[in-house]
Structure 1
């Protein structure tokens, strides 16, 4: 298994009309490209965010001057590694790998409380339908199988009140989704009563506010850290890691946690 670096760099000084940010290229060849998706950025246009003007696909297309194809997604508030195809054949092959669960994905998350050890969450999830985008879907589908493995990497207790507690406890966890349901990681951590910090939909709003006020960190603390797959053309095993952003780095510095390609040391 090998770690790949970008085959080329983009100089932001050469951009003349760029209101959109320059995306960090993690890997690129003539068939696939991987980028470090910023938190808060949509992957593509959505009916639910019709007023948004920044999209990763359009930004990347303009940046490299080439059409790109999505093969998987990250939620808007989630940062981290996103792989895209540069031709239809690669897109079909990578999509098949995702459908057949042949791709390994590893996320980092900061959750409320002390989640100890490691384990597996095997908790089916009902499909969540959007009122507009999914208005023709069947609303009464049975819950779908959803499995997530987790491992606690670090814990810390901070001396400031959080809700009804005199102190605030946090855990850094590695999450390995074995299925790909909508908001699976966020919903599974809520199911364990250890919601992800910064999650406005499934989390603890008081804990979110406390975390933001005392650490100066905002947004969902969920980062797609690593992905492993077979190259769609060569079949070579590829591992790509994405560094955390400044929001995460600020939190890591305060907690004195350090992350590398092997998760934490």
Structure 2
């Protein structure tokens, strides 16, 4: 059962689990569980995705309950007329809030995008971020006897593919659990010492103006057990509420 965190007669939102695909994809023919099909079966009606979350990312995921509402709502999501808030755990300590304006070249999939142009210029990509907490743990991943990590909040101003993961990699603060843009030694530390086997990136809040009613909507998604365990161990409980 998916956790439904918002529902009215036009829209429905779930707290997507990490590791679950939004919809069926030929890129992973062996997968049998998808958010879209699971939610359809759970509520007994078709749903229409308005945006996406990467497979390893958890958090707020919104669907329309009809194709008509989807057509009304899609421009909101395409033009980023909403505020998205994410939380992540990254390598190293981040001391100050900042805005990273760093254009990104489009990431192409070897199979799905094999006919796409590869000479496109970098596209604007902007991410605001701020530190919420930090921790130093007694485990080494290199030349130092300890390792440092930070809990951060991020608000993307644009929606490039893997933007948050690539931006944090650019800052040399890769997100823990990122097997593409991250640090294998840090990921192994979290698997070994904290039994954490997921990407520590969570879409925690989404704010927007309802496309039908015009009302202000805020949808929050709670953190799963892996996150809660880290909050307890690192003394980070309550920091994401700031």
TM-score (norm 2): 0.97
Give 1:194 shift.
Answer: 0.2
* Residue-by-residue CA offset, 1:8-32 (whole Å, 9 max, x unaligned): xxxxxxxxxxxxxx00000111100
Q: 1:151 aligns with which of 120, 130, 136?
A: 130
1:46-195 → structure 2 map (5 Å cutoff) = 46-195=25-174
Q: 1:229 aligns with which of 183, 194, 208?
A: 208
Q: 1:208 aligns with which of 184, 187, 197?
A: 187
> Do the aligned partners of 1:257 and 1:264 also contact (CA within 8 Å) in 2?
no
* Residue-by-residue CA offset, 1:40-62 (whole Å, 9 max, x unaligned): 00001122211111110000000
Cα distance in 2 for residues equivalent to 1:47 and 1:192: 33
Cα distance in 2 for residues equivalent to 1:94 and 1:253: 38
**Which residue of structure 2 lines up, in the alignment, with residue 264 of structure 1?**
241
Q: Secondary structure at the match of 1:209?
A: helix
> Do the aligned partners of 1:85 and 1:91 also contact (CA within 8 Å) in 2?
yes
Q: Give the CA RMSD over aligned residues.
A: 1.1
Cα distance in 2 for residues equivalent to 1:42 and 1:143: 27
Structure 1's unaligned 5+ residue stretches are 1-21
Structure 2's unaligned 5+ residue stretches are none
Cα distance in 2 for residues equivalent to 1:264 and 1:218: 24
Cα distance in 1 for residues equivalent to 2:143 and 2:22: 38
Cα distance in 2 for residues equivalent to 1:229 and 1:264: 19
Cα distance in 1 for residues equivalent to 2:156 and 2:99: 10
* CA separation of 1:62 and 1:74: change in aligned 2, threshold 3 A: same
* Residue-by-residue CA offset, 1:80-107 (whole Å, 9 max, x unaligned): 1111111122212221012222111000
Q: 1:248 aligns with which of 220, 227, 234?
A: 227
How many residue pairs align between the two structures? 242
Give 1:68 shift.
Answer: 0.5
Give 1:206 shift.
Answer: 0.4
> Do the aligned partners of 1:118 and 1:150 also contact (CA within 8 Å) in 2?
yes
Give 1:209 shift.
Answer: 0.4
Q: Secondary structure at the match of 2:145?
A: coil
